[in-house]
Structure 1
Amino acid sequence: MASVTVKQPCTKCDKGGGVATCGGCQQCLCVKHFNEHRQELATEIDNLGEERDLLQRNLIEDIAAYDFPSYVNDWEQKSIAKIQAAAEQARIDIQKYLDDKKQQLKTSLAQVTNELKLGRQSNDYTEIDLKKWMEQMKQIRETLENPSTILIIDDNNTESIIHLIQVKQTETTDRAIRSLEEAAIVTRSGR
Structure 2
Amino acid sequence: MAMANNKTLCFKCNEDKITYPCKGCSNEFCFTDLAEHKQILNDELHTITNEYNEFKQTINKQKQSPQNHPLIKQINQWETNSIEIIQQNAKDCREAVIKLLQKSINDIEKKFNDLSEQIKQIHKENEFNEINLSYLTNQLIEITEELNNPSKISIKEDSQSCINEISIILSKKPEFNKWKQNAITVAIGNGRGQ
In our comparison, the structure showing a higher alpha carbon Rg is: 1
Higher RCO (CA < 8 A, seq sep 6+): 2
Structure with higher helix content: 1
How does the TM-score come out when normalised to structure 1?
Answer: 0.47
How does the TM-score come out when normalised to structure 2?
Answer: 0.47
